[in-house]
Amino acid sequence: QVQLIESGGGLVQAGGSLRLSCVSSGRTFSIYAMGWFRQAPGKEREFVATISRDGGTNYVADSVKGRFTVSRDSAKNTMYLQMNSLKPEDTAVYYCAARDGSTHIRGIQYDYWGQGTQVTVSS
């Protein structure tokens, strides 16, 4: 079993930055590929970013490319999402997820999920 806890969300003005963290406990962090997803009110969950077990491979969605960066620190069992140049359309609940496999952009492929952290970007 893996437990995931997100933090770092909050209210920020457009153009600002936030860094989300996802701390993992339970089974060995390094065996899992990780991902970030988000869900805005009335919308479906969407892929944001994913990173491989060793951190050597990562992908971000086109909608956030150039603004968001995903990384992980295995020594701290933590994955990060650095979000810069935030826009009102980035407002959503952000979830981290883990899967016993390679990176993936589909949420259904993930085995474990955190409870989410709210990000609100004001215009």
Distant-in-sequence, close-in-space partners of 83: CB < 8 Å, separation ≥ 6: 17, 18, 19, 20, 64, 67, 68, 90, 119
pLDDT of residue 12: 98
List the structure tokens of 121: 């970007």
Residue stretches of the chain with pLDDT short of 70: 29
pLDDT digits (tens, 9 = 90+) for 13-41: 999 999 999 999 887 767 799 999 999 99
Q: Is 42 left (phi over 0), alpha (psi -120 to 50) or beta?
A: left
